[in-house]
Amino acid sequence: MERLIVKLGERSYPITIAAGLLNDPASFWPVNRGDNVMLVTNDCIAPLYLDCLSELLIQDGVKVDYVVLPDNEQNKSLTVLDQVFTALLTKPHGRDTTIIALGGGVIGDLAGFAAASYQRGVRFIQVPTTLLAQVDSSVGGKTAVNHPLGKNMIGAFYQPASVIIDLNCLNTLPRRELSSGLAEVIKYGIIFDAAFFDWLENNIDMILALEPQALAYCIRRCCELKADIVAADEREHGQRALLNLGHSYGHAIETHMGYGNWLHGEAVAAGMMMAVRAARRFGQFSDVAAERVSALLLRAGLPVSGPKEMAAEDYLPHMTRDKKVIAGHMRLVLPVMLGKAEVRAGITDDILIASINDC
């Protein structure tokens, strides 16, 4: 068992990583445990884990209710969020309840936003079941829903009480979802840790094969990097923005193509290559490094260019609504070299279009 701490003073919380945690009720309780739980999951995960987890918590003396939401990114909406509020109010649940998010990034974001909003804030626990959620979205307190005009534009920063990562959940993960999660894994190597990028080049095949030791190290290292960044910059005023490498382009793809048609990691992978090409136009990030990134993404089963249905000009309206736009000026996260990135201001439409067309 691995245990890391996200250090945020009174709001610090553990990330626990091991195989079999869904069978251990002690894993689910922070210091101030409650006896009422609302489990939030989706119709893909519920048949796999809902009954066993509910029974486990009931045997531990917990009153358990649940709401099963439709799967898919297109359902990360205010309309579906209202189903969580309705379930909480119908039972009813008070301020002493704990919301448990059992699922991937969509469920984590929805349940976290519900926890941040319900009665002005209740405790919640992240139980991520996808690689993408385990290495990225479950850690750091970003919660949100999508809007037809932009991804994750409505939300709140709200930290969980704990994050419980059961490695066994990845055994039921579809291969496409596993590859999608690897986009966020590779991102950490590009922006923060060149040695980790080297390690990924040597071990990507073992991760795809779900080799336990490689998988455990991969997830732990990503969580270590994410925890350090969140502790230093919880609300993304500085260094945390680097975690958005490829996301400005990627969110444009997801929004334009319709949420769920391109998985988040697929869109981010294409977006990272566009950011690499933009960096090359500024004379940084070598051609050799660019080729290494492209090769690793392809080995992970990820795209290195955007949808053929999207012209470069189709990205611009979505990117101008991006959260990194300040006073009408576009900013992008660009790699400087493997292991280092920057937020660069003054990005013109010409640079954006060229970087998209280059891919």
Residue by residue, pLDDT tens for the chain (359 residues) are 899 999 999 999 999 999 999 998 888 887 677 899 999 999 999 999 999 999 999 999 999 999 999 998 999 999 999 999 999 999 999 999 999 999 999 999 999 999 999 999 999 999 999 999 999 999 999 999 999 998 999 999 999 999 999 999 999 999 999 999 999 999 999 999 999 999 999 999 999 999 999 999 999 999 999 999 999 999 998 999 999 999 999 999 999 999 999 999 999 999 999 999 999 999 999 999 999 999 999 999 999 999 999 999 999 999 988 766 654 678 999 999 999 999 999 899 999 999 999 87
Q: Which of 73, 177, 234, 236 is catalytic?
A: 236
- At residue 304, the 3 state secondary structure works out as coil
Report the CATH number at residue 168: 3.40.50.1970
CA distance 230 to 239: 9
- pTM score, whole prediction: 0.95
Number of domain units in the chain: 2
Of 112, 141, 172, at which residue does a domain stop?
172
Length of the chain counted residue by residue: 359
- In the residue annotation, 247 being an active-site residue is answered as yes
R_g of the chain computed on alpha carbons = 20
Asked if 249 and 179 sit in the same domain, the reply is: yes
The DSSP 8-state label assigned to residue 262 in this structure reads B
Residue 120, SS3 per DSSP: helix
Q: Domain boundary residue among 109, 144, 172? A: 172
Clarify whether 244 is annotated catalytic.
yes
Query: Both 214 and 349 in a single domain?
Result: yes
- From the list 76, 151, 264, 277, the catalytic residue is 264
Catalytic pick among 251, 256, 277, 324 = 251
- Residue 142 known to be catalytic: yes
First to last CA, the chain: 41
Q: Is 220 marked active-site?
A: no
**List 240, 277, 318, 324, catalytic entry:** 240
Annotated catalytic residue: which of 42, 75, 152, 184? 184
13 and 160 together in one domain: yes
Among this protein's residues, is 236 annotated catalytic? yes
Q: Residue 114: give the domain boundaries.
A: 2-172
| Catalytic hit among 42, 146, 152, 244 | 244
User: Does the active-site annotation cover 254?
Assistant: no
Of 134, 150, 172, the residue at which a domain comes to its end is: 172
Q: How far apart are CA 230 and CA 228, in angstroms?
A: 6
Q: Decide: 30 and 123 in contact? Cβ < 8 Å.
A: yes
- 156 with 278, same domain? no
